[in-house]
Chains A and B, each alone.
Chain A
């Protein structure tokens, strides 16, 4: 029990993942800035932003549902943190695992998106409501390709647990190469999940101001931002565990460094994505996800079924 609490609250839970999330945000912002020919923020900027938001006045609209409005940011943070304990980070085994934790992790990673929808909806303001509707519309577009692209490698590994998947690819080096299409699909879906360009439609500032977070301020906004940072790290870790399963058998120290590098690599890819693209319209986004992304994910599942059939 004590160890579980320690892993949830300190390492690799709340405290460590928050700091790592901020570090990843810095890496993302700095790279984005350098690619745009700008200087970019200093290394402590994400932490400074967080502290500044904590000290700001919290304004809750009269029309908003106060309880829901205040609880949702915490729900979002809690959900992504909980999902991290089922993901194998620096070894073949996650802290906790059971047969079927793939579903739990994907479900827990959907919760922040849902809470952002509810946050917008319960703000009871025009821009927030519009943003909330867009959050949900977008969720239906990228979630299915993301699930299917993770499903493929799991089918090949013959396990419904992320630790099982990681162990399989650790024992069969080279097999991860079959999953490269799925890696691309899940990267694009992760970009959508994190609501970043070209999929930052729910918070497109030039259209609907702050989207579902329009009414949020102060501490609550700080926690929403934190949830997004941690989600970026956890999402990248999930992708790393499933699609980049090397270096997991190494001793803890080396494995830890490799995990950090893998996450930063994925964050860098996401930063390049948002540098070279413009924001899509919601209809274009949905069309793209169902026409191309979902098909690519099905293709990935077929590859895995085929390879599995050939081998066994």
Chain B
């Protein structure tokens, strides 16, 4: 078979969000991967500059549907640092609790998606059923299954009652039982091992060089976790292990994630047990002083970095988000070197991509970029001509309302 180039995306069943990967194939083997990002740019950073800090927080929370709490927390941490706010310990513990519940539902979601990508839909159905337990807990605690809206500048918006604590512990017991089953499945199922072992290999040196983050880095035996290295919220006072694995492949990434599910259970138990008394928020000023701050946060997908600059007004002057997928997507090219077409979906899914968090700007190629540039009038003439020729409709007389 001659070399063929097939487009994975912008619309493709393996991708949950539009993004384009052109694969050049020799038979079933991949010769070259060309990733084209930018289909999901939403201009959130710019939109934040036109909103007050508190409105921007709600917008930031909607960067990602899965790790919404991660982005919101990273943002408020930066703002609190600029405004020198002392967040009460109870608020920090509640943030940690929601963060770990979010990690659990994100990892369970990933496990299901990974199963689906390798045609193992039973795993998808099972994990998504169990994920409901976590989502129900989140709904009880915050009122929402996703986009919890629990953070506010200076603390959190909702307190946790003793009954809710008991409910959390009951839910966590169920989850721990189910997670043990998934660990058993991941380590003992021959078919899973067949599809995941030695697929999408990212050696430790490359993981460091390409600055992979989160479970992708940890599965390449890079001990990198913001929760340990630069503790935020209540993580400094809690006991937990950073789960790493030396497989350096998709199998390792799966093991790291199920391992982190167990660690999350452990963290949540500690949080519920040691929940300090006191207020849940301090009053934040409407105008945030001049200053800038960088905030790091270990999202389920890896390190999330937010940069905020205040200019003394109600609106931030600049907000910059570096989502974990942007760090990890660089490694995909390396992982797919010399692999099979059949492994593309699972390798892509193994970084747990969140493309809409990643996309920042659309690059317009100049005439030298190969695609050419087209101005408004030419485009309109082209459109009218196309419809007249191919559809027999004449739009040349219709007026444009602009």
Contact = CB atoms under 8 A, between A and B. Distances in A.
A and B assemble together: yes
Interface of A: 35-38, 126-127, 129-130, 133, 197-198, 200-201, 204-209, 275-284
B contacts with A: majority SS? helix
B121 interface: yes
A281 B118 CA distance: 9
A281 B340 contact: yes
A127 B7 CA distance: 9
Contacts of A280: 191, 194-195
B342 A209 contact: no
A207 B341 contact: yes
Interface residues of B, number: 30
Given A36-B126, A281-B195, A206 B120 contact: no
A209 B12 contact: yes
Contact of A278 (B4, B126, B191, B340): B191
B28 A282 contact: yes
Nearest to B27: A133
B293 interface: no
Given A278-B192, A282-B28, A198 B12 contact: no
A contacts with B: majority SS? helix
Interface in B80-128: 115-123, 125-126
Interface string B275-314: 0000000000000000000000000000000000000000
A37 B7 CA distance: 35
A277 B28 contact: no
A278 B342 contact: no
Nearest to B128: A37
B327 interface: no
Given A126-B4, A126-B6, A278 B125 contact: no
A278 B118 contact: yes
A277 B342 contact: no
24 contacts: A37-B129, A126-B7, A127-B6, A130-B6, A197-B121, A200-B119, A205-B14, A206-B13, A206-B116, A207-B14, A207-B342, A208-B6, A275-B122, A277-B120, A278-B115, A278-B118, A278-B123, A278-B192, A279-B119, A279-B120, A279-B195, A281-B195, A282-B28, A284-B194
Given A37-B125, A206-B117, A278-B119, A133 B342 contact: no
B1 interface: yes
Given A127-B6, A133-B1, 6 more contacts: A198-B119, A200-B119, A206-B345, A278-B192, A279-B195, A281-B340
A283 B191 contact: no
B112 to A, nearest CB: 11
Nearest to B125: A36
A278 B194 CA distance: 9
Nearest to A199: B119
| Top 5 A-B residue pairs of the complex, sorted by shortest distance between their CB atoms | A279-B119, A278-B120, A36-B125, A206-B14, A206-B345
B126 A282 contact: no
A127 B4 CA distance: 11
B12 A278 contact: no
A4 B51 CA distance: 78
A35 B122 contact: yes
Nearest to B196: A278
Contact of B342 (A38, A129, A205, A281): A281
B6 A197 contact: no
Contacts of A207: 14, 341-342, 344-345
A283 B339 CA distance: 12
Interface in B175-200: 191-192, 194-195
A209 B14 CA distance: 8
B343 interface: yes
A62 B1 CA distance: 24
B118 A279 contact: yes
Contacts of A201: 342
Contact of B125 (A38, A130, A197, A281): A38
A6 B343 CA distance: 49
Contacts of A38: 125
B115 to A, nearest CB: 7
Contacts of B28: 282-283
Contacts of A284: 194
Nearest to A197: B119
Contacts of B115: 278
Contacts of B342: 201, 204, 207, 279, 281-282
A112 B119 CA distance: 23
A196 to B, nearest CB: 10
